[in-house]
Amino acid sequence: MQTLAPIKTGANMPDYNEACANFSWKDVEKAFSWHETEKVNMAYEAIDRHAETWRKNKVALYYSDQKRDEKYTFQDMAFLSNKFGNVLRNIGTEKGDRVFLFMPRSPELYVSMMGILKIGAIAGPLFEAFMEQAVRDRLENSEASVLITTPSLLERVPYNELPHLENIILVGDGEAPEDGDVKFYRFEEEMDKASRDLDIEWVDREDGMILHYTSGSTGKPKGVLHVHNAMIQQYQTAKWVLDLKEDDIYWCTADPGWVTGTSYGIFGPWLNGVSNLIRGGRFSPEDWYGTIEKYRVSVWLSAPTAFRRLMAAGDDVVKQFDLSSLRHTLSVGEPLNAEVVHWGMNVYQLRIHDHWWMTETGGIVIANYPTMPIKPGSMGKPFPGVQAAILDEEGNELSPGQMGRLCIKAGWPSMLRTVWNNEERFNKYFPVKGWFESGDLASMDEDGYFWFEGRDDDVIQTSGERVGPFEVESKLVEHPSVAEAAVIGKPDPVRGHIIKAFVALKDGYEKSDELEEELRKFVKQRLAAHAAPREVEIRDFLPKTRSGKIMRRVLKAWELDQPTGDLSTMEK
Ligand code: 6R9
């Protein structure tokens, strides 16, 4: 196996083995002021702490999209987030309240996020592509009392049917409706009125900070709760895995509606006092390379699907841009093919560092540590202080090379603390005492490198985003023509997987191309564009167990021309 040696000099971190031997999370806490008081606030540590030093005039946020090109220093961010904290307090928001964000990337989104945390409220970021059902499920389950959104996204918010939702703050131009019990405010107006001095709410390290909803294979999306304590992990992994240094310009391409866009699109870089670039708008190779050139991006974190699309765009595009500022690149969200790593070496002369974690882990737990040789195709080794293992169903550790369940020893600082309103679901993450079960299948080789093998459940990773088949199926069966639906992930060279839906129709409906297209649109318009099936296939019947469960794995095997395995439970 060809390995790629570390290629950088002057790395920020000790040698991997040395780091593991001497590591203690307690030492990491000393980077923060609160280890003495036990009282803490993520937004203070991410923003204000720097604004109190020479970094106050350092750029915290570069923001650019098709229309805007702005920068904000740590001092600007401190004042603006103070103001927003006051806006929330002025309308009665208190510690522990759930405040949701539903808007495209913009400086206001980042200011709002920090303001929410400063007053000890719990932030709930929602991906801007969510349609009504997705928005409703999350606001309902979290019992959110405040929503920050834009006038154009408001049409997807059934605010009069959400009894807990009291206030909506609208960012940008557009009409605010005047109906129902919800009170509307305008972001710009309230910010103008608010003071820039704020008494930060000092919270306990175990107090709730952020709720990320994520999909499983059954049931509605789950609200994964993280606490302020997560900063320990996010700080240290950003320092060592992202290798962030004082003069870096860091760009994470993920949207804060997903966990990568908060843990490493906001917290990781700012906890390290690093300038963070946020680029709004859609993907295009020219735009992305142009962004690196223009801002002199030095550390770049993206997803396999983006790297594969850049690879498909060809090496000539790369040559049109000056990418000499790039020093470190990273990838997360799906398996990063060895081929892409080799391509990265050719075109960027850099290793693309794959690393593994998930919404529930809150921060990186397995990584290709920069000072370590990389085996292309592997996710790397456990971060110092983290213990990972491949276990069988009884919780026995498997030998190198054997595939099993990827588990993490409970107790890392950014571990989820609960599933909102669903303790039972939370407990299911720990089937073997003391171990968190990820739901991924993996193996470890003799050198201790971990290799991703697949999901242990039916969750679909499509273009780096996690989609639960159940949510899509539930939406499909709301269509008048659909009797039953089953959704699978179908391997795709660029997107990792695409969503394919199999549908059985009700009596009186006929299969047609138009109907298939209509079903695609139905999900796209009501759930989310990224959750819409790219392929819809109408079938006479769907394979089911005798207890009536649709057998997705059988559909998948049929689709991929693979053996179907044990069909003894299938209804004939
Ligand atoms: C951070 C994030 C988590 C799931 C995870 C796994 C897949 C993430 C990966 C990877 C292979 C990697 N995943 N990183 N698979 N190699 N380096 O993506 O969180 O959206 O919760 O997804 O993503 O299947 O279980 P999340």
7 pLDDT higher than 60: no
54 pLDDT higher than 90: yes
Average confidence (pLDDT) over 422-438:
96
In this structure, are 292 and 378 located in the same domain?
Answer: yes
Which protein residue has the closest C-alpha to ligand 1 atom 1? 358
Residue 482 pairs with which residues in a beta bridge?
Answer: 505
- Which residues, including other chains, have CB under 8 Å from residue 304's CB and lie 6 or more apart? 331, 333, 334, 335, 336, 337, 340, 464, 496
Res 543: pLDDT: 87
In this structure, are 392 and 482 located in the same domain?
Answer: no
Among 413, 443, 473, identify where a domain stops.
443
- CA of 367 relative to ligand 1 center, distance in Å: 12
In this structure, are 205 and 95 located in the same domain?
Answer: yes
> In the block, which residue shows the tokens 């069909």?
567
- In whole angstroms, give the CA distance from residue 68 to residue 223: 33
Residues 119, 145 contacting (CB under 8 angstroms): no
Atom of ligand 1 nearest to the CA of 459: 24
Digit-coded pLDDT (tens) for 280-299: 988 899 999 999 999 999 99
pTM of the model as a whole: 0.90
Residue 171 pairs with which residues in a beta bridge?
Answer: none
Res 9: pLDDT: 43
- In whole angstroms, give the CA distance from residue 325 to residue 248: 9
Residue 9 within any structural domain of the chain:
no
501 pLDDT higher than 50: yes
Instruction: Give DSSP secondary structure letters for 261-298.
Output: HHIIIIIHHHHTT-EEEEE-S---HHHHHHHHHHHT--
ipTM of this predicted structure: 0.99
CA-to-CA separations, 293 to 105, 275, 282, 319, 321, in angstroms, rounded: 21, 16, 17, 12, 6
In this structure, are 100 and 175 located in the same domain?
Answer: yes
Average confidence (pLDDT) over 479-486:
90
Among 392, 412, 443, identify where a domain stops.
443
Atom of ligand 1 nearest to the CA of 439: 25
Domain CATH number, residue 506: 3.30.300.30
383 pLDDT higher than 60: yes
- In whole angstroms, give the CA distance from residue 359 to residue 382: 17
Domain CATH number, residue 20: 3.40.50.12780
Residue 11 within any structural domain of the chain:
no
Tell me which residue of 360, 358, 437, 429 sits closest to 391, measured CA to CA: 437
Domain that holds residue 68: 16-443
337 pLDDT higher than 70: yes
Residue 565 within any structural domain of the chain:
no
Res 473: pLDDT: 87
Res 456: pLDDT: 83
Res 427: pLDDT: 97
Residue 71 within any structural domain of the chain:
yes
Average confidence (pLDDT) over 8-18:
74
Atom of ligand 1 nearest to the CA of 357: 1
Most informative mutation of 237, 241, 463, 466 for ligand 1 (most atoms within 8 A of CB): 466
Residues 291, 297 contacting (CB under 8 angstroms): yes
Confidence of residue 38 (pLDDT cuts 50, 70, 90): confident
Residues 352, 326 contacting (CB under 8 angstroms): no
- In whole angstroms, give the CA distance from residue 364 to residue 210: 17
Res 33: pLDDT: 79
Residue 559 pairs with which residues in a beta bridge?
Answer: none
- Which residues, including other chains, have CB under 8 Å from residue 250's CB and lie 6 or more apart? 242, 244, 269, 274, 275, 276, 277, 297, 298, 299, 300, 301
CA-to-CA separations, 313 to 292, 334, 460, in angstroms, rounded: 16, 20, 25
Neighbours of 242 (CB within 10 A): 27
Which protein residue has the closest C-alpha to ligand 1 atom 26? 358
Residue 254 within any structural domain of the chain:
yes
Of 74-88, 156-170, 208-222, the one with minimum mean pLDDT is 208-222
Of 165-179, 334-348, 537-551, the one with minimum mean pLDDT is 537-551
- Count the domains in the chain: 2
Neighbours of 88 (CB within 10 A): 25
Q: In the numeric block, which tokens belong to residue 123?
A: 């932030």
Which protein residue has the closest C-alpha to ligand 1 atom 10? 334
Residue 539 pairs with which residues in a beta bridge?
Answer: 504
Q: What angle do CA 416, 417, 421 make, to 5 degrees?
A: 110
Most informative mutation of 354, 360, 452, 459 for ligand 1 (most atoms within 8 A of CB): 452
- CA of 452 relative to ligand 1 center, distance in Å: 10
In this structure, are 34 and 120 located in the same domain?
Answer: yes
- CA of 512 relative to ligand 1 center, distance in Å: 36
Digit-coded pLDDT (tens) for 352-372: 999 999 999 999 999 999 999
Phi-psi group of 246: left, alpha or beta (phi > 0 → left; psi -120 to 50 → alpha; rest → beta): alpha
In this structure, are 437 and 319 located in the same domain?
Answer: yes
- CA of 368 relative to ligand 1 center, distance in Å: 15
In this structure, are 399 and 473 located in the same domain?
Answer: no
- CA of 51 relative to ligand 1 center, distance in Å: 34
Q: In the numeric block, which tokens belong to residue 464?
A: 């780096």
Q: In the numeric block, which tokens belong to residue 238?
A: 């950003």
- CA of 356 relative to ligand 1 center, distance in Å: 6
> In the block, which residue shows the tokens 């030492």?
27
- In whole angstroms, give the CA distance from residue 547 to residue 555: 17
In this structure, are 519 and 412 located in the same domain?
Answer: no
Write out residues with Cβ below 6 Å of ligand 1. Answer: 214, 258-260, 332-335, 354-359, 379, 438-440, 452, 455, 461, 466
- CA of 355 relative to ligand 1 center, distance in Å: 9
Most informative mutation of 259, 264, 358, 429 for ligand 1 (most atoms within 8 A of CB): 358
In this structure, are 135 and 275 located in the same domain?
Answer: yes
- In whole angstroms, give the CA distance from residue 147 to residue 184: 10
Instruction: Give DSSP secondary structure letters for 21-71.
Output: HH--HHHHHTTSGGGTTSEE-HHIIIIIHHHTSGGGGSEEEEEE-SS-EEE
Res 298: pLDDT: 97
Digit-coded pLDDT (tens) for 235-282: 999 999 999 999 999 999 999 999 999 999 999 999 999 999 999 988
In this structure, are 170 and 291 located in the same domain?
Answer: yes
- In whole angstroms, give the CA distance from residue 206 to residue 501: 41
216 vs 400, residue with greater confidence: 400
Residue 2 within any structural domain of the chain:
no
> In the block, which residue shows the tokens 């039916």?
458
- CA of 258 relative to ligand 1 center, distance in Å: 11
- Which residues, including other chains, have CB under 8 Å from residue 341's CB and lie 6 or more apart? 4, 351, 352, 354, 374, 376, 377
Of 11-15, 132-136, 168-172, 207-211, the one with minimum mean pLDDT is 11-15
In this structure, are 287 and 380 located in the same domain?
Answer: yes
Atom of ligand 1 nearest to the CA of 465: 20
- CA of 224 relative to ligand 1 center, distance in Å: 15
Average confidence (pLDDT) over 308-319:
90
Mean pLDDT value across the chain: 93
In this structure, are 403 and 470 located in the same domain?
Answer: no
Classify strands 435-444 and 450-455 as parallel, antiparallel or unpaired. antiparallel
Atom of ligand 1 nearest to the CA of 258: 20
Residue 6 within any structural domain of the chain:
no
Average confidence (pLDDT) over 28-38:
84
Neighbours of 369 (CB within 10 A): 27
Most informative mutation of 225, 383, 419, 461 for ligand 1 (most atoms within 8 A of CB): 461
Residue 253 within any structural domain of the chain:
yes
Which protein residue has the closest C-alpha to ligand 1 atom 2? 358
